[in-house]
Amino acid sequence: MADESTTQYDAQTLCDNLAAVEQRIEQACDRAGRSADEVTLIAVSKTHPVEAIEALYEAGHRDFGESYVQEWQDKAAALPKDIVWHFIGHLQSNKAKYIADEVAMVHSVDRKSVMKQLNRRSDERVDVLLQVNIAGQGTKSGVAPDGLIGLLELTRNYPSMRVRGLMTIPPYVENPEENRGHFQNMRELFERAKAWLHENASEDADAFEHLSMGMTGDFEVAIEEGATIVRVGTGIFGQRDYS
């Protein structure tokens, strides 16, 4: 009998999972009257092995998400250089120096200390998303919705960062419809933030175009409500083994 982990990371299984998620993205876009080209799928590869990423890379996928700096460093050193890495986890200020200029986008900026370190360590502009705690969860990072404009104002002090949009992680729910309201609120918050940037003649206004929300259990609803980036891990790689 094949080992369960071997079966989980079988290249054909992974590619089939990827194709199924891509099809669901297309169907959600169709329902919303959108083009699938408007949505970037990040395969969340944290805790999964290099071999699994390689299988999806060979299938043509390039966008991958990691949450732990050391794990990302090890994987990046072993994998092709044209992979588009997204740092999606909570970023400690003292770790920011390791990813500045090294990843395509940092999805989890929510406080001054991280901004300061990214700005200090960057030779080029770093693309970032501001994380919003849309549901006010005590266990989640992110600025409160009513604090977003203040956070946007703060970013103007750190010219090495380019704010590309917003990110959120709503509560885990069995029924994805339960998160539709959170996604709608995020879309409204995104529009208000973009308008504020234009009103204040921010050079980031035109680049502010991404709304990263939706994961394995609810990404279709997120797309219907305006997500431009979805982060799918379990739906592609299977369950994580944190041991």
Please state the domain extents for the chain: 4-233
Per-residue pLDDT in tens (0 to 9) along the chain, 243 residues: 344 455 689 999 999 999 999 999 999 999 999 999 999 999 999 999 999 999 999 999 999 999 999 999 999 999 999 999 999 999 988 999 899 889 999 999 999 999 999 999 888 899 999 999 999 888 888 999 999 999 999 999 999 999 999 999 999 999 999 999 999 999 999 999 999 999 998 888 999 999 999 999 999 999 999 999 999 999 999 987 655
Domain 4-233 sits in CATH at 3.20.20.10
Alpha-carbon distance of 49 to 34, in angstroms, equals 34
Residue 243: exposed, middle, or buried by beta-carbon count in 10 A (0-12, 13-18, 19+)? exposed
Alpha-carbon distance of 184 to 227, in angstroms, equals 10
Angle at 212 between CA 53 and CA 90, to 5 degrees: 70
Residue among 145, 166, 163 nearest 154 (CA): 163
Question: Hey, what amino acid is at 219?
Answer: F
Which residues sit opposite 242 in a β-bridge?
A: none
